[in-house]
Amino acid sequence: MVEDKELQAANFEERLESEKKRSEDYLNRLKYLQADFENLKKRFDREAEQIKCYSNERIIIQLLEVVDELELAIKNGEISTPSTSGLLEGVEMTLKKLRKVLEQEGVSEIPDPQGKTFDPSLHNAVIAVEKDDVEESTVIEQVRKGYTLRGRVIRPSIVKVAIKSKNQSKINNKMEENKQ
């Protein structure tokens, strides 16, 4: 009988150890699931915030085209007759209000790149002009303004970029060969 009780006690201890290991395993799994859930929740929150920030991007891009048209109207109105000065003032006020609304939404103008090195993340080169008096890949003219929305480029500046003329490139290559 004593042996039977000792055998039962050993059996209970074995089962107890087995259950302890099983409960530790469940606890570890639970901890991993909780961590995964927290990470997923944080990711969804980040994505929701990003969607919220950039959800109006499409309409803002369309409004930027209106800004371009108003700027063109003002530019053309300045060279026309003085009788249109009242209309010109109205267009200028409208443009000013529209810029203020865009600024409140996080839109900012990319600084005029003229004279600076071409940056493909901010600029879109449409024309390469041969010029020997400026460094290659220097922006020589901004054709259309670019804009960012909360630091992200939504419309790059359209620019003209300087390149060395073919004759000047040949001269430069010969000068480099002579140095060696």
How many helices (H) and strands (E) in the chain?
4, 6
The predicted pLDDT at position 176 comes to 54
Q: Say if residue 2's pLDDT is above 70.
A: no
What fold does the segment set 109-180 form as a domain?
Answer: Nucleotide Exchange Factor Grpe; Chain A, domain 2 (2.30.22)
How many other CB atoms sit within 10 Å of the CB of residue 140?
17
Contacts (Cβ under 8 Å, ≥6 apart) of 71: 95
- CB distance 129 to 143 below 8 Å: no
- What average pLDDT does this structure show over 60-70? 94
> In this prediction, what percent of the chain has a pLDDT beyond 70?
89
Q: Say if residue 93's pLDDT is above 90.
A: yes
> In this prediction, what percent of the chain has a pLDDT beyond 90?
58
- What average pLDDT does this structure show over 39-54? 89
Q: For the purposes of burial, counting CB atoms within 10 Å of the CB of 92, is it exposed (0-12), middle (13-18) or buried (19 or more)?
A: middle
The predicted pLDDT at position 100 comes to 96
Structure confidence at residue 121 as a pLDDT band (50, 70, 90): very high
Tell me which of 58 and 165 has the higher pLDDT.
58
The predicted pLDDT at position 178 comes to 47
Question: Worst-scoring range by mean pLDDT, 24-38, 84-98, 164-178?
Answer: 164-178
| Whole-angstrom distance, CA of residue 47 vs CA of residue 146 | 26
